[in-house]
Structure 1
Amino acid sequence: MKKNDLPLVYSCSGCSSAAQTANQVAIKMDREKIAEMSCIAGVGGDVKPLVRTAKSGRDIIAIDGCPLACCKSCLARHDVQPKHHFDLSKFDVPKHLGEDPDPQLVQNAYNQILEDIK
Structure 2
Amino acid sequence: AYSGQASNQAGVQLHREKFGNLFCIAAIAADRPEKMERARNAGTRIAIDGCEDHCCKIVLEKAGLPVDVHVAATDLGIEKKPETPRIAEDSARIADEVKRSLTV
Q: State the TM-score, normalizing by the size of structure 1.
A: 0.78
Letter in 1 for 2:98: I
Identity of paired residues, percent?
23
Q: Does the alignment pair 1:104 with 2:89?
A: yes
Corresponding residue number in structure 2 for 1:52: 37
Letter in 2 for 1:22: S
Segments of 5+ residues of structure 2 without an aligned counterpart are none
Corresponding residue number in structure 2 for 1:9: none
Which has more strand, going by share of residues? 1
Corresponding residue number in structure 1 for 2:102: 117
Corresponding residue number in structure 2 for 1:30: 15
Corresponding residue number in structure 1 for 2:46: 61
RMSD: 1.8
Q: State the TM-score, normalizing by the size of structure 2.
A: 0.87
Aligned residue among 59, 67, 70 for 1:85: 70
